[in-house]
């Protein structure tokens, strides 16, 4: 079986781990070509024996800075999908986000995705049941579309990084006291990720011996300025506002006691799975897939998930860390992350591929 990943980012550890696992199960993954126009059809011409087009981030094929260009790209996308389906290619979509984070017309995007799911998509993969429920509601899908939706968890990162290094070494490298409580925000910094609010809240509620690390590349200069202003004057806040290379990821994760991601909106979060893989406690709003990911109905949950509508929720969550066993929470998270094994995820993903290809061929189960 041959599969096209659309788009494919070799630097993305999620896609790379999935590709490797699928390859071990006999599904050959090829990347789509780049460019603004007809990328899917040009990719097909290079791989005319492809069975499945697996779309990961749909917005890559319609995002545009001007509305007229958006309509042009969206129209071309549907033309390409129509032709590919006529040629026998089946379409699978992984629902990473309900809407793209930077697209200025979310309601238009929802209508586009409703059209995509209803008429051009053979199967949808979501990372949790809540994602399926939200997609049906937000896109205004007919409930019968649920039949084409499948839950496949986000895989762990236990094998992608050195997750068992020494905290003392990481703290020494970052010039942090070994006996301090260290919180970490890690990842690309976008407006919806609420990092300035995290810094301001930390500065207000944290103890004198607590530290906050902010490590990640701001998406815009405005975001960089907002983060820098929020951190100014508080020596407990350490920032590294740039892309963090893969070899430095363990240093930051191992130095932290807990990872804090105060997103205003998210569906699935690879950063949450990354924190779990490193055995770190976690703080975030109770939104999207996070409750299912951490199982926050359990008394042994490895996360503090607060009400996103509570203006004091983040501050209350940060204060609560003083009375919690963060090491035990991190150990719970690491055990939980091990459940999201890539071999199982590849099996479940190839099962989706086989189902849609079987439907194309008119075969019975």
Helix/strand/coil for 7: coil
> Is the sign of the CA dihedral 177, 182, 188, 192 positive or negative?
negative
The class that CATH gives domain 2-155+341-361 is alpha beta
Q: Is it the case that residue 364 has pLDDT exceeding 50?
A: no
pLDDT average, residue stretch 59-75:
89
Torsion angle of C-alpha atoms 31, 35, 41, 44, degrees rounded to 10: -20
Question: Residue 1: its pLDDT value, please?
Answer: 93
CATH number attached to the domain at 167-338: 3.40.50.2000
User: How far apart are alpha carbons 297 and 17 in whole angstroms?
Assistant: 30
User: At 158, is the pLDDT very low, low, confident or very high (cuts 50, 70, 90)?
Assistant: very high
Looking at 80-219, which runs of residues are DSSP E strands?
90-94, 123-126, 149-151, 181-186, 210-215
Which one is predicted more confidently, 27 or 266?
A: 27
Mean per-residue pLDDT of the chain: 93
User: How far apart are alpha carbons 346 and 152 in whole angstroms?
Assistant: 9
Whether cis (ω within 30° of 0) applies to the bond prior to 7 is yes
Q: Which residue is it, tokens 């033309």?
A: 79
- In the chain, CATH 3.40.50.2000 covers 2-155+341-361, 167-338
């Amino acid at each position: 079986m041959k599969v096209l990943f659309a788009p494919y980012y070799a630097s993305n550890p999620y896609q790379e781990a999935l590709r490797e696992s699928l390859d071990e199960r006999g599904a050959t993954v090829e990347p789509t070509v780049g460019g603004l126009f007809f990328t899917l059809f040009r990719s097909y011409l290079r791989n005319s024996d492809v069975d499945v087009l697996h779309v990961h981030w749909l917005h890559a094929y319609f995002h545009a800075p001007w509305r007229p260009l958006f309509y042009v790209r969206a129209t071309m996308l549907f033309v390409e999908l129509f032709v590919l389906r006529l040629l026998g290619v089946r379409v699978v979509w992984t629902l990473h986000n309900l809407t793209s984070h930077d697209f200025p017309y979310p309601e238009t995007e929802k209508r586009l995705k409703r059209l995509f799911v209803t008429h051009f998509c053979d199967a949808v993969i979501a990372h949790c049941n809540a994602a399926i429920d939200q997609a049906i509601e937000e896109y205004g899908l007919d409930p019968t579309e649920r039949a084409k939706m499948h839950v496949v968890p986000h895989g762990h990162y236990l094998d992608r990084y050195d997750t068992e290094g020494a905290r003392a070494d990481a703290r020494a490298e970052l010039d942090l006291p070994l006996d301090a409580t260290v919180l970490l925000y890690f990842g690309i910094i976008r407006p919806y990720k609420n990092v300035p609010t995290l810094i301001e809240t930390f500065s207000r509620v944290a103890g004198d011996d607590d530290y906050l690390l902010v490590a990640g590349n701001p998406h815009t200069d405005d975001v960089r300025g907002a983060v820098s202003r929020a951190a100014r004057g508080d020596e407990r806040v350490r920032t590294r506002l740039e892309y963090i290379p893969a070899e430095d990821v363990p240093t930051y994760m191992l130095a932290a006691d807990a990872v804090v991601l105060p997103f205003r909106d998210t569906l699935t979060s690879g950063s949450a799975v990354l924190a779990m893989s490193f055995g770190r406690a976690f703080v975030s709003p109770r939104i999207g897939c996070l409750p299912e990911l951490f199982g926050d109905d359990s008394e042994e949950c490895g996360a503090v998930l607060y009400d996103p509508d509570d203006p004091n929720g983040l501050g209350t969550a940060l204060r609560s860390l003083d009375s919690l066993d963060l090491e035990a929470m991190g150990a719970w998270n690491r055990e939980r992350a091990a459940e999201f094994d890539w071999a199982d995820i590849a099996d479940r993903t190839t099962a989706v591929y086989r189902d849609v290809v079987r439907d194309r061929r008119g075969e019975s189960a």
